[in-house]
Amino acid sequence: MPSTRDIRRRIKSVKNTKQITKAMELVAASKMKKAQNTALAGNPYSLLLSEMLAALEEQVENLRHPFLEAREIKTRGILLITTDKGLCGGLNANLFKAVTSEVDRDAKFVCIGRKGTQFLGRTRRNLLADFSVSEKVDFNEVKVVSEFFTEQYLQREIDTLEIIYPKFVNTLRQEPTVYPLLPLANLRGIVEEMRRQQAENEDEVQAHLRRDEREMIFEPSPHEVLSNLLPLYINQQIYQFVLDAKASEHSARMVAMKTASDNATNLLEELTLEYNKARQAAITQEILEIAAATASNS
Amino acid sequence: MPLLLEIVTPEKRVYSDTIETVVLPTVEGELGILPGHLPLLTQLEPGELRVMKAGEPETLAVGGGFVEVAADKVSVLAESAIDIEEIDETAVEKAMERAQKALSAKAELDPSEVERLESLVRFSAAQLMIKKRRK
């Protein structure tokens, strides 16, 4: 049986740990709220942007742009979005599992987040570049990433652009998701999908469903509009994914820290019980000794 | 038939209402939209967006972006947009000054930062111009 002093020491250390995890939980909770709100606020913009693209595709025949053409896939380009810091439960581990099972060894990677860079280095994957984004993600930080990526795509270094990121489902669930961004073969399907998701939040599907049958005018020209719209679309999509990943990160961290705090509370209870038992045993022992000594003296 | 105007920026939906007419700053010049306009997709320039709603004029400053007109719905996709009433002239002037100062040392900045500052300057200039004209 451990001495009372050892138990006391353990209680103290568990208490300290609990204090830290509790603080981290609260910080993550407030950051989570903010991250979730920003992720949601960007949705109408994304939707409108992809709707414009879809309209463009619908109206103009034989639209030509390297982003729209599917080509033979030799090298896949993967953007892996992970966190910079650990202590967020299985979030990164799940992503890495997805990478291992879904992606072959020839694929080239671009990485956001230090954890991903470390993983790709450890497994000796082909890492082209790694970027880091600040806590409050700025549109322009992401722009660098998407510019680098589209450059690689246009030079045929990579033949697809796929994104692996933790999709934010709700606070308790984040799913590692592989999302193919380029080539944009099925624009219409993407818009439909986004609309459905949006409709769950807001009740304005009707407004979107109004269609105009007349022919559309493009100024200055369809091609000009397209070549400006497409990079913006890629940019916005990646930005949205990064925001989503941030929301996931903070949710995962909050949940992980909450579990840790709860475990610490349980552990503390058990240890306190053990400590009291040990203390009581020591007292009983002492009384017995005194009683025995008095008995032998008289 | 009324016209539906929607202005969306990456941060939020700035405007969503039924209106009578809207005048947009586009790359091809100012463009007025009335109900029944042909479907149109064009690029937006930083500048002044004028709305006529229930007989009352309203003015907004917008950054660059795109405009889609279809089925009497005008969708504006802008980098930034602000109602003229909310423009704080001195704050905008200061922000613009700071951005220009940072831009003068261009060589030390990375390209994305330069772009961000330039768009900030453009948008600030548009805001100031509109505000001045109102006086």
Point out the residues of chain B with pLDDT beneath 50.
Answer: none
d(CA B5, CA B75): 6
What tokens appear for B87 in the block?
Answer: 């423009």
Q: Which residues of B touch A225 (CB under 8 A)?
A: 41-43, 66
Burial (CB < 10 A; 0-12, 13-18, 19+), residue B109, is middle
Count Cα neighbours of A80 within 13 Å in the Cβ-side half-sphere: 36
Please indicate, yes or no, whether residues A202 and A62 belong to a single structural domain of this protein: yes
Please indicate, yes or no, whether residues A194 and A181 belong to a single structural domain of this protein: yes
Strand A108-112, strand A76-81: pairing = parallel
Please indicate, yes or no, whether residues A54 and A173 belong to a single structural domain of this protein: yes
Please report whether residue A82 resides in a domain. Answer: yes
d(CA B11, CA A29): 21
The minimal CB distance from A42 to the residues B10, B70, B71 is found for: B10
H/E run at residue B75: strand B73-78
Please indicate, yes or no, whether residues B39 and B73 belong to a single structural domain of this protein: yes
Q: Do B39 and A210 touch (CB under 8 A)?
A: no
Whether A162 and A78 have beta carbons less than 8 Å apart is answered as: yes
Q: What is the CATH number of the domain that holds A274?
A: 1.10.287.80
> Structural domain of residue B52, as residue ranges?
3-84
Residue A206 has what pLDDT?
A: 47
Q: Which residues of A touch B68 (CB under 8 A)?
A: 48, 51-52, 55
Please indicate, yes or no, whether residues B15 and B57 belong to a single structural domain of this protein: yes
Please indicate, yes or no, whether residues B11 and B26 belong to a single structural domain of this protein: yes
Please indicate, yes or no, whether residues A276 and A207 belong to a single structural domain of this protein: no
Please indicate, yes or no, whether residues B78 and B102 belong to a single structural domain of this protein: no
Residue A25 has what pLDDT?
A: 94
- Nearest of A206, A213, A60 to residue B71 by alpha carbon: A213
Cβ atoms within 10 Å of A87's Cβ, excluding its own? 14
Please report whether residue A283 resides in a domain. Answer: yes
Please indicate, yes or no, whether residues A236 and A265 belong to a single structural domain of this protein: no
d(CA A282, CA A4): 9
Enter the pTM of the model. 0.82
- Shortest Cα distance from B43 to chain A (angstroms)? 7
Identify the domain boundary among A251, A269, A284: A251
d(CA A56, CA A218): 9
Residue listed under structure tokens 């082209």: A128
Q: Is A228 on the interface with B (CB under 8 A)?
A: yes
Q: Which residues of B touch A218 (CB under 8 A)?
A: 40-42
Please indicate, yes or no, whether residues A22 and A135 belong to a single structural domain of this protein: no
Please report whether residue A31 resides in a domain. Answer: no
Please indicate, yes or no, whether residues A12 and A79 belong to a single structural domain of this protein: no
Q: Do A49 and B77 touch (CB under 8 A)?
A: yes
What tokens appear for A33 in the block?
Answer: 């709220």
- Nearest of A206, A216, A219 to residue B69 by alpha carbon: A216
Please report whether residue A150 resides in a domain. Answer: yes
Please indicate, yes or no, whether residues B56 and B93 belong to a single structural domain of this protein: no
What tokens appear for A26 in the block?
Answer: 């609260």
Residue B108 has what pLDDT?
A: 67
Q: What is the CATH number of the domain that holds A68?
A: 3.40.1380.10
Q: What sign results for the dihedral spanned by CA atoms A122, A126, A129, A134? A: negative
Please indicate, yes or no, whether residues A84 and A148 belong to a single structural domain of this protein: yes
Angle between helix axes A91-102 and A114-122 (nearest 10 degrees) is: 40
Q: Which residues of B touch A212 (CB under 8 A)?
A: 39, 70-71
Q: End-to-end CA distance of chain A: give it in Å, rounded.
A: 34
Minimal-distance CA residue of chain A relative to B110: A144
Q: Is B9 on the interface with A (CB under 8 A)?
A: yes
Identify the domain boundary among B84, B102, B120: B84
Q: What is the mean pLDDT of each run of 10 residues along chain A (298 residues)?
A: 86 95 94 88 83 78 75 86 89 91 86 90 88 80 84 86 90 88 74 69 51 75 84 87 91 94 96 94 94 89
Please report whether residue A40 resides in a domain. Answer: no
Candidate list A54, A79, A81, A88, residue with the active-site label: A88
What tokens appear for A266 in the block?
Answer: 């349980």
> Structural domain of residue A208, as residue ranges?
47-251
Please indicate, yes or no, whether residues B115 and B68 belong to a single structural domain of this protein: no
Please indicate, yes or no, whether residues A83 and A224 belong to a single structural domain of this protein: yes
Residue A152 has what pLDDT?
A: 87
Please indicate, yes or no, whether residues A64 and A202 belong to a single structural domain of this protein: yes
Q: Give me the interface pTM, i.e. the ipTM.
A: 0.78
What tokens appear for A232 in the block?
Answer: 């913006």
Residue A141 has what pLDDT?
A: 79
Residue A11 has what pLDDT?
A: 94
d(CA A259, CA A21): 9
d(CA A209, CA A252): 37
Residue A251 has what pLDDT?
A: 93
**Cis peptide, bond prior to residue A220, ω within 30 of zero:** yes
Please report whether residue A274 resides in a domain. Answer: yes
- Exposure letters A227-237 (e unless 16+ CB within 10 A, then b): eebbebbbbbb
Q: Do B68 and A51 touch (CB under 8 A)?
A: yes
Please report whether residue A34 resides in a domain. Answer: no
- Write out residues 44-63 of B within 8 Å (CB-CB) of A: none
Please indicate, yes or no, whether residues B66 and B115 belong to a single structural domain of this protein: no
- Number of compact structural domains in chain B: 2
d(CA A55, CA A49): 10
Please report whether residue A141 resides in a domain. Answer: yes
Q: Do A216 and B112 touch (CB under 8 A)?
A: no
Q: Which phi and psi (to 5°) does residue A29 adopt?
A: -65, -45
Please indicate, yes or no, whether residues A265 and A216 belong to a single structural domain of this protein: no
Q: Do A48 and B6 touch (CB under 8 A)?
A: yes
Identify the domain boundary among B84, B104, B124: B84
Residue B80 has what pLDDT?
A: 81
Please indicate, yes or no, whether residues B37 and B71 belong to a single structural domain of this protein: yes
The minimal CB distance from A219 to the residues B40, B75, B112 is found for: B40
Cβ atoms within 10 Å of A7's Cβ, excluding its own? 20
What tokens appear for A4 in the block?
Answer: 């009372």
Q: Do B71 and A211 touch (CB under 8 A)?
A: yes
Identify the domain boundary among B84, B100, B115: B84
Partners of residue B67 on adjacent β-strands: B42, B76
Please indicate, yes or no, whether residues B107 and B76 belong to a single structural domain of this protein: no
Q: What is the CATH number of the domain that holds B45?
A: 2.60.15.10
H/E run at residue A109: strand A108-112
Please indicate, yes or no, whether residues A102 and A162 belong to a single structural domain of this protein: yes
Q: Does A88 participate in catalysis according to the annotation?
A: yes
Q: Chain A to chain B, count of Cβ pairs less than 8 Å apart?
A: 94
